[in-house]
Amino acid sequence: MTETTGYSGGGFVHIKNPHLDSMEEDILYHLDLGTKTHNLPAMFGDIKFVCVGGSPNRMRAFAQFVQRELGLAGAGEELPDICAGSDRCAMYRAGPGSPSHGMGIPSISIMLHELIKLLHHAKCRDVTIIRIGTSGGLGIEAGSVVITDTAVDSSFQPRFEQVVLGDVVLRSTELDKDLAEELLACSREIADFPTLIGHTMCTYDFYEGQGRLDSALCSFSSEKKLEYLRRAYDAGVRNIEMESTAFAALCGLCGLKAAVVCVALLDRLEGDQIRASHEVLWEYQQRPQRLIAAFIRQRLGLGPKGPTH
């Protein structure tokens, strides 16, 4: 069974669930928000950009960074975690909303279902959603930023397998091509790191699924690993992470224009362990944030800001 992507009219988020209308209250459990306990349109109705990422600390830093970059009121102050009552997700607001989703498809999927319902309940329009994160690079320099054109699975196919009541449903993982090109154009403003467009492979784990030799269990040789990673490279894969296919599939079906922008922490053709210092890794992690801040500034007509260090 294959489902097709349909962008909806009016710019609203497209909720494909007939049951939601008949619910008296919708509790967004992992966000610790609800339609009866919170005025979601007042809190979130003006949202245009949502950035999601795996790590709560990184998303807090990003919200503070965007607040400074866009010259918003309250810059420099501590930002409250909107989901403070939940330790499953964290969410910060700084113009755009920036929730954290933990690691892996199940974790981002929970957050996205509740986030998309939140945008629906809040009557948001024309929302752009961007996942920023970290990844392993493939044949690219550590520190490079990859803008995903298509998310692919471990067989390099542009599809996501969703289990529904025990049956597998195949979903498309296309992302918005224009948005990817717009982000690439923005990257030219920031000259001190390489940015490229490529396929992103999404796996179900970090060790065996990504062909690492340093797992607790390893049944393959270094040669077999490299042969697999080279096949991925030849199929157009430039980085590997653990959320992009589910993110692309769910956002696409719900009519959200979506992008994935991840920095590569290492080149997997060169090794498996992440050996760079905390300082270097921290600077790498800021690169997607700097690109997205430049993109939002441009969309808001604020113009380039000069060096964004």
State the DSSP string of 33-76.
EETTTS-HHHHHTT--EEEEBS-HHHHHHHHHHHHHHTT-TTTT
By CB under 8 A, residue 8 contacts a second copy: no
Asked if residue 107 binds a second copy (CB under 8 A), the reply is yes
Q: Contact between 110 and a second copy (CB under 8 A)?
A: yes
Which C-beta is closer to a second copy: that of 96 or that of 211? Answer: 211
User: Strand 195-202 to strand 237-241: parallel, antiparallel, or no bridges (unpaired)?
Assistant: parallel
Confirm or reject binding of residue 85 to a second copy (CB under 8 A): yes
Q: Which element (helix H / strand E) includes 247?
A: helix 244-253
Candidates 4, 217, 277, 309; binder of a second copy (CB under 8 A) is 217
**Strands (E) located in 86-153:** 91-93, 97-99, 128-137, 145-152
Under the criterion CB under 8 A, does residue 57 sit at the interface with a second copy? yes
| Segment interacting with a second copy, rule: CB under 8 A, options 63-71, 135-143, 268-276, 295-303 | 268-276
Q: Which is nearer to a second copy, 186 or 263 (CB)?
A: 263
Q: Should residue 206 be labelled a site residue for a second copy when binding is judged by CB under 8 A?
A: yes
Question: What string marks each residue from 130 to 169 as x (binds a second copy by CB under 8 A) or -?
Answer: ------------------------xx------xxxxx--x
> Could you tell me the CA-to-CA distances from 55 to 99, 207, 223 in Å, in that order?
9, 19, 33
12 belongs to the binding site for a second copy (CB under 8 A):
no
Spell out the residues 6+ positions from residue 23 whose beta carbon is closer than 8 angstroms to its own.
none
Q: With binding defined as CB under 8 A, does residue 254 bind a second copy?
A: yes
**Is residue 239 a contact residue for a second copy (CB under 8 A)?**
no
C-beta of residue 66 within 8 angstroms of C-beta of residue 95: yes
Does 5 contact a second copy by CB under 8 A? no
Among residues 273 and 303, whose Cβ is nearest to a second copy?
273
Could you tell me the two tokens for 173? 């993982």
Say whether residue 269 binds a second copy (CB under 8 A): no
Q: Which stretch binds a second copy (CB under 8 A): 48-56, 70-78, 181-189, 283-291?
A: 48-56
Please report, to the nearest 10 degrees, the dihedral formed by the alpha carbons of residues 152, 185, 254, 29 taken in order.
90
Burial of 185 (0-12, 13-18, 19+ CB in 10 A): exposed
Amino acid (1-letter code) at residue 129: I
Residue 235 beta carbon to a second copy: minimum distance, rounded to whole angstroms: 11
**91 near a second copy (CB under 8 A):** no
Q: Is 279 in the site for a second copy (CB under 8 A)?
A: no
Comparison of 25 and 178: residue with beta carbon closer to a second copy: 25
DSSP 8-state code for residue 103: S
Query: 3-class DSSP state for residue 122?
Result: coil
What's the token pair of residue 238?
Answer: 């430039």
Q: Is 215 in the site for a second copy (CB under 8 A)?
A: yes
